[in-house]
Chain A
Amino acid sequence: MEIKADTTVCIGAGMCALTVPEVFDQSEDEGTVELLQKVPPQELEDGVRRAVTLCPSGAISIA
């Protein structure tokens, strides 16, 4: 699994950082998504999938 994050779409709602803090953070100034790891370890994949469905803006996706 590889994660993509589009900060131009992100509205900084923080659902990703709340759901999988190991993988997602928010930038200090803009609050937009920051990827801590592009390829999450397997045990976090479910959480990442949940974060993708919870994200309100469609800013994160997985390939």
Chain B
Amino acid sequence: MSDVTFPMVRRRPLDPPDEATELRQQGAMHRMTYPDGHRGWLVTRYSAARAILAHPHFSNRQELSHPPLPSQLERVRMQRERKMPAGVFLRMDPPDHTRYRKLLTGQFTVRRMKALESRIEEIVNAHLDGMAAAGGPVDLVQMFALPIPSLVICELLGVPYEDRAQFQEDSKLLLSLETKAEEAIAALGRVMAYLYGLIQRKRKEPSDDLLSGLIEGGELNDEELTGVSFLLLVAGHETTANMLGLGTYALLTNPDQLAAMRDDPSVVDNGVEELLRYLTIIHVGPIRTALEDVEIEGTLIKAGETVTLQLPAANRDPSRFPDGDRLDVTRQAGGHLTFGHGIHQCLGQQLARAEMRIAYPALLRRFPGLRLAVTPEEVPMRSDMGIYGVHRLPVTW
């Protein structure tokens, strides 16, 4: 089926692209021609996507894969020439991936994230104070959704928050699907150089943070430390920020769900899972490449073939989540694929949960009259970005 192209557009801002939903109704696996001519696959059903993510014969190494987007072709080619920076373990397989992951898992446990809660509460409240002082209307992205996760990840890693302007800008360039290859490589180079310098400084003056701890652990050299901190910094930025922005938009346009999240504390944990499932902000990918022939739900995927998972459609699969197109914050939405599955499942997921569980109800309770300051159609959606969300969210109260 060579007419499958990426990215697909979400015509209704909260729903997966119609093409993806239609394909899911037809089957789990679809032939897709990649921009470089490769004949690979698109996966639209939940069980097949989950099976692939957990399967040891699917590799996450970039050099084996074919990019699903035309705009990524040149970027990936240039990156390959320069070889992937050490330490970016997201695009590695075991045993390399295992080595990095093991060094970090202890830092992101459920218990450690619980210990961070009071600090997250302080940060959230300070930003709510800022909003109140500014008076509406404000852009919720700039005043709330972006700064909170940004400040939290900077503090956790030990990256000075004052330096954020440049790396936030660069991280945006890196995640945009429209950034030209040279610009993306330049942005990558700037963030890497910045982090490399930071690691040199921390070697001389360690403090009580994750990067200093990794330096002291002595298992990683400076290039590896740079790659690891790059991954954590970028991953910690746009993901939760877009969940907070788009999640608030979803609640504001579904007032009954908003009321439940605001008024019933017992709903919040499930509500956060449900927003993660319903919104599935991972807009493109993940992708994997078969290392050997594998049969998935009756379809043979041959060694060397790349598969692209369409998670927004998979997370709405009615065979896994009945009435999946309805936002229902009381639903048991655990098991969604938004954080991935298998050995690459998001390292920072418990941090993201802690932030959202605190931030949504705090925002809604502080401003019970919170509403959009524009019509829902006027909110600009991030259809041009690898991580979906709202570019801006003008609100008042």
Contacts and interface: CB of A to CB of B under 8 A. Distances in A.
A19 B343 CA distance: 19
Main secondary structure of the interface of B (DSSP, over half): helix
A28 B106 contact: yes
A43 interface: no
B110 A29 contact: no
A19 B269 CA distance: 11
Given A11-B101, A11-B105, A14-B108, A56 B340 contact: yes
A53 B106 contact: no
Interface in A13-55: 13-14, 17-19, 21, 25-32, 50, 53-54
Given A54-B335, A56-B345, A57-B343, A30 B105 contact: yes
Contacts of A17: 109-111
Contacts of B72: none
A45 B303 CA distance: 40
A34 B346 CA distance: 20
Nearest to B353: A18
B54 A18 contact: no
B343 A56 contact: yes
Contacts of A56: 53-54, 340-343, 345
B102 interface: yes
Contact of B108 (A12, A29, A50, A58): A12
Contact of A26 (B109, B339, B340): B109
B225 to A, nearest CB: 19
Given A54-B335, A58-B54, A13 B349 contact: yes
Interface of A: 11-14, 17-19, 21, 25-32, 50, 53-54, 56-58
23 contacts: A11-B101, A11-B345, A12-B106, A12-B109, A13-B349, A18-B350, A19-B334, A26-B105, A26-B109, A26-B111, A28-B106, A28-B109, A29-B106, A30-B102, A31-B107, A31-B108, A31-B109, A32-B105, A56-B54, A56-B340, A56-B341, A56-B342, A58-B54
Minimum-distance CB pairs A-B, first 3: A12-B105, A31-B105, A56-B345
